Structure 1
Amino acid sequence: MPQFEAMTLSALGQRNHDYGRIRMWGSIGFLIVAGSYGWLLDRLGNDAFVWLTLPWLLLTVAASWLHRGDRPLPALVSDVPRQALWRRPGVRRLLLVAMLMQLGFGPFYVFFTLHLQAQGHDGFAVGLLWAIGVLCEILMFWQAPRLVQRFGAQRLMTACLVATALRWVMVALLGGSFAWMALAQTGHALSFAAFHAGCMRRMAELFPERRDMAAAQGMLYGFSGGIGGVTGAGIAAVGWQHGGGHLAFLLGAAVAVMALLMHVVPVRALRPQAAA
């Protein structure tokens, strides 16, 4: 994924704000599965999951095979040390915010379906709720270029962090209501799609040199999907063990608030004051 993101941004060049309209197609695939597999598994049983998944994996291999002859652009090879990229102003803050955001998603990725089932929703309802979230994600990816250009990545990401904190509180406290969960799932447009588009825009702003983009994307995914993803799953498991979905998603909301503070508080306010 880091390599794919870097190749995409490199190909777009100055049109990096159009990234969302390419990423949208991954969401369409997810929407097809989320909208149908809950119903299918209710009728065929969970043992059918592997056989229902294999055709998509084979199609992925076929799509990748079409690009087997592609050659990397020389511009994507960077001779800049990772330490130099890490020290650029604004980079560490962006990486930490992305890490915390992904960490807060831990309960959602691991326990959202189980939480909904524990609240009495059947497989069709769970699949429909996932589909609502992804449909909103697709629509946001399509509109993201306009929003990024109009409001800028920083302000857009601030709105996303606020919406995410409210979303996890809603899931924690109102999980038994399909209507409230449907409303919470519309928040995926901001929590995932707009935030992701904002991060990609910030990466393009912080690393305008194409040769540095692949290494920078590797750092972003290492912090977000790597550290944030694994740690978020672990914290979510602890919350689930001691308080079920209520505690797990409240912890996710608390982490989202931490990410918001990291994003909006000025750097000078985070530094210890020098002694008088």
Structure 2
Amino acid sequence: MTPSVRWAFGSFFFLYFAYVGLVSPFASLFFLERGFSVIEIAVLMSMLQITRIVGPFSWGWLSDYLSNRTGIIQFCACLAAIVFLSIFYLQSYAAFFVWMFVLHTILSSLMPLGESATVHALFKDNSFDKRYGRLRLWGSIGFIVMVLFAGELFQRKGIELYPIVGTVVLICLALVTFRLHEPKMERRKMVKGELLLVLLNPDVRWFLLSGFFMIFAHAALYVFYSLYLADLGYNKFQIGLFWALGVFAEVLFFYFQSKVLSRLDPEVVLQAAFGIGVIRFVLIAFFPITWVLILAQVMHAATFGAHHSAATKLLQRWFTGPLQARGQALMATVSYGLGGTFGGLAAGWLWDATEPRNVFVMSALACGLAGMAIQKLRPNSLH
């Protein structure tokens, strides 16, 4: 992978996660400003996960069929920028519902295909352990920059500037995709049933189940953490700082990722991430004071950074060659799609029916279930 291609992929991750850094902390506050209820907001935010149930796998299948990942990425990025512009004309809740569904069905293609293209290029020159984290950390930096910038901007000028910021980010993202390039993909006729053969492996199913529970756990964080902090009395800029801190910790992990993944098997890293996840969500639920919340955010290095890198590496043991994009998409579908959807809806119900901290108690339990699932992997099948 040449320096110019690394720059392009780094910029792609930066801008994509800058958009995530806008949506995750501030979309719920924007919808609240529009007068929607907590349950209505939970449903709107669940579109981020619901669209990942079918979207990523469909785009992944098309990518493997056409052997043209970057072309699909370019098409979807441009279409997403166009669709986002309609936010300026939306009024009703139903309109926002449809808009969120369409927009994020399109956007659901970008990260699985972008990850697949990156992994393909890095495995081609045997540099995954060394360079993947260094490229992926630019996504984390983009997230940090956005939450700090948007947090300060919205605190000073108001959350009504949310649509303008989103428009600028997605247009820049669309432009950057035309600089992406990956090694030529092997054009091979798709074999009927080849994916099913991989899924018959019980280790693959336990792995996917662990991903389901981990993102189920994090759905409460993605949907309600900003509202939770707002209820505790923190302002928009301070909420942005909490999000930025978590992602900064994630950046540090990505930078030093090679030292971890070259020494430990990915399933060991996953087990540690799940255990730290239990602790993190217990702290958020039962000890909501500033220094404890800061400590909990630092644990994001493990619960997202370590989990994501280890899961991506482990996935390559089962999904390679023409199955690669569908494997990456399947992980996104099961974890972020199904796990995120059910986790977000369950969190919304708990938030409305009981007390806010219970959504994070649920998250701690889900991390424990993820750890139990990954323990089912057979050691002799991993080497």
TM-score w.r.t. length of structure 1: 0.90
Alignment correspondent of 2:270: 157
Aligned to 1:245: 356
Quote the residue 2:77 is aligned against.
none
Q: Corresponding residue for 1:187?
A: 299
Q: CA deviation at 1:240?
A: 0.7
Query: C-alpha displacement at 1:76, in angstroms?
Result: 7.8
Letter in 2 for 1:43: R
Residue aligned with 1:97, SS? helix
Q: Given that residues 188 and 322 in structure 2 are in contact (C-alpha distance below 8 angstroms), is that contact kept between their aligned partners in structure 1?
A: yes
**For residues 78 and 103 of structure 1, what CA distance do their matches in structure 2 show?**
32
Give the direction of change, closer, same or farther, for the CA distance of 1:72–1:126 in structure 2 (3 Å limit). Answer: same
Answering whether residue 164 of structure 2 is matched by residue 51 of structure 1, we say yes
Report the CA distance shift for 1:56/1:183 in structure 2 as closer, same or farther (over 3 A): same
2:221 — aligned with what?
A: 108
Change (3 A) 1:75 1:143: farther
User: Aligned partners of 2:274, 2:135: CA distance in 1, in Å?
Assistant: 23
Question: Which has the higher relative contact order, 1 or 2, with Cα contacts under 8 A spaced 6 or more apart?
Answer: 1
Tell whether 2:252 aligns with 1:139: yes
- Partner amino acid for 1:178? T
Deviation at residue 266 of structure 1 after TM alignment: 6.3
In structure 2, the residue matched to 1:88 is 201
Runs of 4+ in structure 1 off by over 4 angstroms are 69-72, 75-78
Contact 1:24 1:141 in 2 (8 A): yes
Q: How far 1:84 moved relative to its partner?
A: 1.3
Q: For 2:188 and 2:112, how far apart are their aligned partners in 1?
A: 12
| 3-state SS of paired residue (1:206) | coil
Instruction: Label 1:74 to 1:235 Cα distance change in 2 as closer, same or farther (>3 A).
Output: same
Aligned twin of 1:273: none
Q: Match of 2:291, as an amino acid?
A: A
Residues 244 and 76 of structure 1: CA distance in aligned 2, closer, same or farther (over 3 Å) = farther
Deviation at 1:141, TM superposition (A): 0.8
Residue 224 of structure 1 corresponds to: 335
The two structures, once aligned, show a CA RMSD in angstroms of 1.9
Q: Percent of aligned positions with the same letter in both sequences?
A: 26
TM-score (ref. length: structure 2):
0.65
> Taking structure 1 as reference, are residues 145 and 222 closer, same or farther at Cα in structure 2, changes over 3 Å only?
same
Bigger mean CA deviation after superposition, 91-100 or 13-22:
13-22
Partner of 2:122: 12
Query: Counterpart of 2:166 in structure 1: which amino acid?
Result: T
Q: Does structure 2 conserve the Cα–Cα contact (< 8 Å) formed by 1:76 and 1:210? A: no
Matched, 1:255 2:366: yes
Whether 2:322 is the aligned partner of 1:215: answer no
Unaligned runs of 5+ in 2: 1-110, 379-383
